[in-house]
Amino acid sequence: MEKNVLSPKMLIRKRLFRNKLAMTGMFLLTLIFLFTFLGSILTPYGETEVFRTTETKEQEVAKAECKYKVISVNSVYEPPSSKHLLGTDGNGMDILTRLIYGGRISLLLSISVVAMELLIGTVIGSIAGYLGKWVDALFMRFVDIINCIPSLPLYIILGSIMDYYKLDGGIRICMLCLILGLFRWSAVARIVRGQILSLREQEFIVAAKAAGIKTRHCIGRHLIPNVIPQLIIIATMDLGNVILSEATLSFLGLGVKYPYASWGNMLHTVNNIYVMTNYWFVWIPAGTLIFLTVLGFHFVGDGLREALDPKRKHT
Amino acid sequence: MSFRKKNSRSAYLTVMKDPDNIVEFENVHTYFFTDSGMVKAMNGISFDIPKGKIVGIVGESGCGKTVTALSLFQLLDRSEGQTIKGQIRINMESHAVNVINAPAHVMQKLRGKQMSMIFQEPATSLNPVFRIGCQMDEVIKLHHPKMYKKERKNRTLEMLELVGITNKEEVYKMYPHELSGGMCQRIMLAIALVCHPRIIVADEPTTALDVTTQAQILDLLLELKNKLNITILLITHDLGVIAQIADEMIVMKDGSVVEKGSVKEIFKSPQHPYTVQLMRSHAFAEKHFVKIGSFPEKKDSILEVSHLKKYFPQRGNFISPGKGIVKAVDDVSFTLKRGTTLGLVGESGCGKSTTGRTILRLLEKTDGNIFFNGQDISKVSAEQLRLLRTKMQIIFQDPYACLSPRLTIDEIMKEAVREHNIVPKIELDTYISAMMRACGLQESYKQRYPHEFSGGQRQRICIARALALRPEFIVCDEPVSALDISMRTQIINLLQDLQEKYHLTYLFISHDLSVVEHISDTVAIMYLGSIIEIGATEDIFRNPLHPYTKALFSAILIPDPDVKGKRIILKENILSSSLSPSGCKFQTRCIKCTEICKMKTPVMQEIEKGHMVCCHLYDGK
Amino acid sequence: MKKFLFKRLLQSFLILFFVGLLIYSMMRLLPSSYVETRARTLSQQPGAKSYDEWLVQLKAAYGLEQGILPGYLHWLGNALQGDFGDSWQWNKPVITKFQEVIGYSIFLAATAFILEIFLSIPAGILAARRQYSKLDHTITVVALIGISLPSFFFATILKYLFSVKLGWFDLYGIVGRMHEQYSPFKQFLDVAEHMLLPILTLTITNIGSLIRFTRTNMLEVLHSDFIRTARANGLPEHKVIYQHAFRNTLLPLITVLGSSLPELFGGALITETLFQIPGIGYTAYQSMVNGDIPFSMFYMLFLAVLTLLGNLLADILYAAVDPRVQMV
C-alpha cells in the first residue's frame, strides 16, 4: 500500500468534494451569486425604476371610442410577461430587477456582519482564553449578560427607533449592519475561548512555550491557525443565519426599507391578503431565494464540519 | 466485496477440526477502509486455541491483533472493515459455529454467554451512568432470564469475590468513576465471568494499569484459569506478560502470523527473524547493566532542587467546586551532576511528570527553590526565563501531540532556532540538516508533515528540535512509553549517544524500571509526591530498601518463562482519589506497616554511601 | 445543593440587574415623542387633565426627569413590588395584560416543544445509528431544510395552501366567527384548530437544530468504549441504543433543551404576529412598534429571566442525571 503524501489541507479538500450535499450547496450558491452580482448586466432596468402604463392602454381606450383620456399611472401588480419576467410589484417596479439588487444587498450585508462578528469575537475570545484568570472571568460575565438580552425584540425596538427618526435608506442599511454585528460577536467569542482553553493545554503549545517562544507568537502561529477550522464552519453557517435575521427584520418593515430592495422587504406585502392570494409572483420568488441561499450556506457548512472532523471513519 | 447471505443455518453450522480446541481461526482475511484506500488488517490468519490454555497474541501496534480479537466477536463496525474470507469456528460441544457467517441474533446469544471480552481501558469500558451492580445484573438477566433477582444478586457478589474484591457489597452500589483502574478491570473480569463463558478474550488488559496492579491482574487471570479451567486469549505487546502466564503464543506482524507454538519453545529458540528482533528488544530487564565509561568523580551540580512543592486545588465542577488540595509534589529535593542522568521512577499519579514540569517552570511552584547553574530560576523575570529556556529543554511522552499538525518538519525545527537566534540566518538550513542527521533523520523529511511519520520517527523529530537549541539539561518525560518495543531501544540508544556527544544532563522520568535501569546513573523512586528512596542505580537495583521499591521490582515481568518471579502483593488501592493520611504515605498499602508509620512521617536517611531511603524500618541504622 | 442554588440565584440576580440596566438605558434613548404622544392621548379623554399636566405626571411616574441610574432604580423599586406600570398601548396595568395573553403563548410553546422532542430525538437517533446511509442523508437534509426555512415564509406558504387554496383553516385569529355560540368543548376545539398552523410553523422551524444536535451526540456516544462492552456482553442492539447510549445522550440534550426555553417564547413572536394569535409575542410586537415603553421593558426582562431560568434548570437536571457531577 503506497502512502500518498497529502498535506492536511489537501485531505480536507478531498473529503469536502466527495460530499454530495456540500457540492449541491456550492452549486446553488454559485448560481445565486452569479444571479445577484452579474444579473444587473442582463436586466435593462434600474433598481428603483418605476413603470407606468403605456401606449397600449391608450390604444385600447381609443379603440373603444370613449371620450376618456388616459392618465398614466404606475403599472402595479402586472403579471409576468415578456417585458417583466416576473411581473411588477405594488410600486410599479420590476420584480426581477428588485430581486437582483435586493439579493446583492442581502448578501453584502451578511458578509459584512459575519466579518465583523468574527473579527471582534476572535480577538476578544483569544485574549480571554489565553490570559485566563480574572480577564476570563470578567469576560464570561459580560457574555452572560449579553446573552440574556433577547435579540429579536432588541432589533425590533431599534428598528422602530430608526423609523421614528426617518433615517435615510442607505444609512439604515449601515446601522442594521452595525447592530447585527455588535450583537452577534459574543457567541463567536465564546466558542473561540472554549477552543483556546482546550488547545492551550495541548502538548504542542506547551512545547512551544518550553522552547521559549514569545506569547504573541504562540497565540498567532499556533493557537489561532488551529481555531480557524471552527471559525470557517461558524462563518459559513452564520452567513446563512444573518440573511435570515435580516430578512425577518425587513419583513417586519424594520430593516431595509423602500426604495431599497431586499428579499425580506419584498415579502412584506403578504400582510395584505389580497396581494398574497392573487399576486404570487410578488412574494414567492423572493421567499424561495432566501430559502435556497440559506440552504446552500448550510449545506456547505455541514459538509465542512464533516470534512474537518478528525474522527471520521471512512470517505 | 459482497455480503454473504447469512440466513440459512447451514451457512454457519459446522464442525471443529480438532474437538480439543475451543476456537479455530482458518485463513481469515479482513479489509479496512481508510482515507488512503483499503488496508488488509488480517492476511490469512490461521491458529487454534486449545481448551483450558492461555494463548497469547503478541505483536506491535498495527499488526492486527485487536482486529483478530474483535473478529471473533464480529464486533467490527461495518463501516470500518469487513471479513471476506475464511472461517472462525467456536466449539459448542455438539456442533461448531462459524461466526463469520452467523446472523446477528446467533452472535448476540454467543456474546457474553459463550465468549466474553475485557478491554484495555477499564475505566471508560463501563457505562458511567449506571451502578456496577446494575451493569452486572443486566448481563445475567440477559442470558439467564429465568433467574430471580435475589439469585442474580448472589451470583454477582460471588463473581466480585472471585476476582478479589473484598468490599463487594459497597462496590455493588458504586459508580465506575469512583473506582481505580485496577478495580475497574477486576469488575470487567467479573462481568466477563458471570455467565461462565467458554473463552475470555483479554485485549491488552494491563497496559493502562500500574506495574504493581498489572502483576495482580495477571496473577488473577492465572488463578482463574487454574480454578475454573477457562480458556483465555490474551492480546498484548509485552513479551514479559506472555512469558509469565501464557502457555501458547502467536507472533503477528502486519496482519500475518509469523510464528506460533508453545511459549517455552519459542522463547528458547525463536525461528522467525521478527520474533528474534522482538525478543532482543525486550532484553533490558535481563541485563543488569552497569554503565561502562568512566566519568570524573568531582563534577559540578547543574541542578539543585530543594524542598520543591506543587499543590493543586482539587478539581471540582461547576456545581460543586472542589475543596482541599492535591499535593502533586510534596517536598522533593535532589541534586543533579552535569553529564549524568537521574531516573525518576514511580507509578501513574505519583507526581514525577509534575516535578519535571515544575522544575522547568512550565508550572509555577507552590514553594521551594530551583537552582540551575547556580542561579535561582524561580526568581528570574519572564523575559530572562524565556531566554534561559534554550538551556533547559523537555521531551514529551506523546510525540504526536507535541508537534503542531499544520506545520512542516522544517518549519517546526526552524521556529525556535530563529526565535533565539542560535545561528545566523544563512546557516539555518545547514544547521537544521545537521541536527536532523544527528538524530537519525533524513534531510528529505523536512517538507513532510508530522502525521506522515511513525511514533519513533516523530520522537526523533522532537529530540532534534530540543537539541537544536543547544541545551545543557533535558527533562525526558516518559519519552518511550508510547512507542513500540523495537523503537524504544533505538530511542534510548540515541539519547545515550547524544548525551556523550553533547555532554547533556538528563532527568529521565519513567514508570518502566528496565528502561530506567539502562540509562540512569542515579535513581529516585517517587510515591504520592515524595521521593521515598534515592541512590546510585546499581545500589538501588541490587539492594532495594523501601517496601514499595521492593514491590515495584518484584512486579517487573521477566520475559523468560523459566523465571517466574515471586511477587510481593501490595494491598489494593481501592479508591481512585488519593488521600493524604498523616504519617507515612504508604501506610495503607504497606505490608510492614507499624504503629509509628501511622503517626509520624519518616525522614530521609542515608543507609549506605549515596543511598538514601525514607522509611521507619531503617530508623537508627 | 442548597449552597449551589443559593450561589446561582445570587449570580442570576446580579446578571438580571445589569441586563435590566442595559435595557432601561436603551429605552431612555428612545425619542421623547413616545411620552408626549401618550400624554396627548390621555389628555384627549373626556374630563382629563391638560396635556402639560399629564406630561409632568408621566415623567414623574416613570422617573424620566432623573438620570439613567436613578431612573432605573426607581423603576426597579416599583417592579420588585409587582408594579410594572400601565401599558400605554393597552391602557391597563402591564401585569394584567400579561396575565391575559400569556396563556395562549404557553399553550403554543408547550405543544410545539413536546412535538419537537418527539419528532427530532428519534430522528436524530435513527440517523446516528445508520450513519452514512440513505436514511441518514435524508434526515440530515430535512434537518438542514428546517434550519434554513424562514419562519415567516413558511407560515405564509402554509396560509396560502391551507387557508386560501384549500380553505381548511382561517387566516388569522385565535377564534372563529361563531365562537361565542359554541359549547365550551367546541370552543376549545375551535381554539385548537386555529392553533394548528402556528404550531406546525413553530415545530418545523425549530426541529432542524435539535435533530442535528441529537445526531452528533449520539454518534459520539455510539463510538465510546462502554458501548463496545455492552455489545460484547451480548446485549441486543435495541437495549444498547435505548438504554445505554440514550442515557448518555440525555446529558447534553438536557442542556440544550433548557436553553431552548427562551427561544420558544421569543421565536414565537413572528409566528404569533403572522397568525395574529393574541399571545405575549404578538402583544409585545405591537407594543414595541408603537413605543409602549413599560410593556416593552417588561417583555425584555421576561425573556431575560427565562434565559437564566432555562440555564439554571438545565444545570440542575444535568447534576441529577449524571452521577459524576456531585451536588454537594
Q: Collect contacts of B574-579 with beta carbons under 8 A, ≥24 apart.
A: B574/B167, B574/B179, B574/B180, B574/B183, B575/B178, B575/B179, B575/B180, B576/B177, B576/B178, B576/B179, B576/B180, B576/B181, B578/B326, B578/B349, B578/B528
**Residue ranges of chain A whose CB lies within 8 Å of a chain B CB:** 1, 3-5, 7-8, 11, 15, 202-204, 206-214, 217, 221-222, 225-226, 312-315
Question: What tens digit of pLDDT does each residue of C79-132 get?
Answer: 777 777 777 777 788 888 888 888 888 888 889 999 999 999 999 999 988 888
Residue B359 pLDDT grade (very low, low, confident, very high; cuts 50, 70, 90): very high
Give the pLDDT confidence score for residue C12 in this predicted structure: 84
Give a three-class secondary structure readout of C134-173.
HHHHHHHHHHHHHHHCCHHHHHHHHHHHHHHHCCCCCCCC
pLDDT band of residue B2 (cuts 50, 70, 90) is very low
Chains touching chain A through at least 3 C-beta pairs below 8 angstroms are B, C
> Residue B362: which of A15, A204, A210 has the nearest Cβ?
A210
Return the percentage of chain A with pLDDT > 70, whole number: 84
> Which tens digit of pLDDT belongs to each residue from A86-122?
777 777 777 888 888 888 888 999 999 999 999 999 8
Please give the C-alpha separations between residue A222 and each of A7, B209, B450, B532, C35, in angstroms, as whole numbers. Answer: 17, 33, 15, 40, 55
Q: How far is CA B476 from the centre of its chain?
A: 17
Kindly list the residues from chain B whose CB atom is less than 8 angstroms away from the CB atom of residue C325. 317, 319-320
Checking if the pLDDT of B429 tops 60, the result is yes
Query: Is pLDDT above 80 for B399?
Result: yes
Confidence of residue B292 (pLDDT cuts 50, 70, 90): very low
Could you tell me the three cell numbers for B282?
525486550
User: What percentage of chain B exceeds 90 in pLDDT?
Assistant: 20
- Which of the residues A24, A142, A157 would you substitute to probe the C interface, choosing the one with the greatest number of C C-beta atoms within 10 Å? A157
Contact yes or no for C234 and B319 at CB 8 A: no
Radius of gyration of chain B (CA): 26
pLDDT for B294:
42
Strands B505-510 and B37-50: unpaired
- What are the residue ranges of CATH 1.10.3720.10 in chain C? 97-321
Confidence grade of residue B465 (pLDDT, cut at 50, 70, 90):
very high
Report the CATH number at residue A190. Answer: 1.10.3720.10
Q: Does A315 reside within a domain? A: no
Q: How close B311 comes to chain C (CA, Å)? A: 23
> Domain for residue A312, yes or no?
no
Mutation for testing the A interface, residue in B394, B422, B477 having most A CBs under 10 Å = B394
Query: Which amino acid, one-letter code, is at B165?
Result: I
Rounded CA separation B576/B587 (Å): 17
Decide yes or no: CATH 1.20.1630.10 for domain C97-321.
no
Give the residue with greater pLDDT, C238 vs B289: C238
Q: Which residues of A touch C285 (CB under 8 A)?
A: 156, 252
| CB-based contact, A144 to chain C, within 8 Å | yes
Contacts of C150 in chain A (CB under 8 A): 244, 247-248, 251, 287, 290-291, 294
pLDDT digits (tens, 9 = 90+) for B500-510: 999 999 999 99
CB-based contact (8 Å) between C231 and chain B? Answer: yes
In a domain, A314, yes or no: no
Amino acid at A43: T
Q: Phi and psi at residue B317, in whole multiples of 5°?
A: -145, -170
Whole-angstrom Cα distance, residue A265 to residue A253? 6
> Does C326 contact B126 at a Cβ distance shorter than 8 Å?
no
Instruction: Measure the CA–CA gap between B126 and B175, rounded to whole angstroms.
Output: 9
| Mean of the per-residue pLDDT values of chain C | 82
**Residues in chain B whose Cβ is within 8 Å of chain A:** 33-37, 39, 77, 79-80, 360, 362, 386-390, 393-394, 396, 398, 401-406, 415-416, 419-420, 448-449, 451-452, 462, 465-466, 469
Per-residue pLDDT tens for A281-309?
Answer: 888 888 899 999 999 999 998 888 888 77
Q: Which of the four pLDDT bands, split at 50, 70 and 90, describes residue C62?
A: low
Whether the predicted pLDDT of B459 surpasses 90:
yes
* Whole-number average pLDDT of chain A: 79
Q: Say if C172 is an interface residue toward chain B (CB within 8 Å).
A: no
A67 or B236: which leads in pLDDT: B236
Q: Residues B371-389: what's their mean pLDDT?
A: 88
Q: Which of B79, B121, B143 lies nearest to residue C234, judging by beta carbons? A: B143
Interface predicted TM-score of the whole assembly (ipTM), two decimals: 0.82
Task: Please give, rounded to a whole number of angstroms, the shortest distance from the CA of A230 to a CA of chain B.
Answer: 15
Return the closest-CA partner of residue C278 out of C114, C84, C98, C86: C98
Rounded to a whole number of angstroms, the distance from the CA of C57 to the nearest CA of chain A is 24
Residue A277: Cβ within 10 Å count: 15
User: Does residue B249 have a pLDDT over 90?
Assistant: yes
Its domain, for residue A285, covers: 8-307
Question: What mean pLDDT, rounded, does chain B reach?
Answer: 84
DSSP 8-state symbol, A71: P
C11 touches chain B (CB under 8 A): no
Position B12: which residue type? Y
The DSSP string of B544-575 is --SHHHHHHHHT---S-TT--PPPPPPPP--B
By C-alpha distance, the chain B residue nearest A212 is: B386
Is A130 in contact with A223 (CB distance < 8 Å)?
Answer: yes
CB-CB under 8 Å, C322 with B126: no
Check if C57 contacts B (Cβ < 8 Å): no
Give the Cα separation of A10 and C90 in Å (integer): 62
Residue type, C255: T
**Is residue B88 helix, strand or coil?**
strand
Query: Is A62 in a helix, a strand, or coil?
Result: helix
Of B405, B416, B449, the CB nearest to A211: B416
Query: Is B559 or B352 the better-scoring residue by pLDDT?
Result: B352
Domain count, chain A: 1
| Contact of B175 with B132, CB cutoff 8 Å | yes
Instruction: Express each pLDDT in C248-301 by its tens digit.
Output: 888 888 888 887 878 777 778 888 888 888 888 888 888 888 777 788 888 888
A153–C296 C-beta distance less than 8 A: yes
Q: Chain C residues with CB inside 8 Å of A239's CB?
A: none
Give partners of B (≥3 CB pairs < 8 A).
A, C
Q: What pTM, to 2 d.p., does this model score?
A: 0.81
Q: pLDDT (tens digit, 9 = 90+) per residue, B509-519?
A: 998 888 888 88
CA atoms of B255 and B39, how far apart (whole Å): 10
Listed in sequence order, the DSSP H helices in chain C are: 2-28, 33-43, 51-61, 68-80, 94-129, 134-148, 151-158, 184-222, 225-232, 237-239, 246-259, 261-275, 280-289, 293-321
Report percent pLDDT > 90 for chain C: 9
Which residues of chain A have a CB within 8 Å of the CB of C31?
161, 164-165
Q: B456-474 burial by CB neighbour count: b if 16+ within 10 A, else e?
A: bbbbbbbbbbbbbbebbbb
| Rounded Cα gap, residues B132 and B452, in angstroms | 42
Run of H or E including B590: none
Q: Rounded to the nearest 5°, which phi and psi values hold at B328?
A: -65, -45
> CB–CB of A213 and B415 under 8 A?
yes
Better-scored residue on pLDDT, B158 or A219: B158
Residue A106 lies in a domain: yes
More confident residue, A275 or B354: B354
Please give the DSSP secondary-structure letter assigned to residue B65. Answer: H
Using DSSP bridges, classify how beta strands B605-608 and B21-34 pair: parallel, antiparallel or unpaired.
unpaired
| Helix-helix angle A224-251:A151-164, to 10 degrees | 50
d(CA C88, CA C75): 16
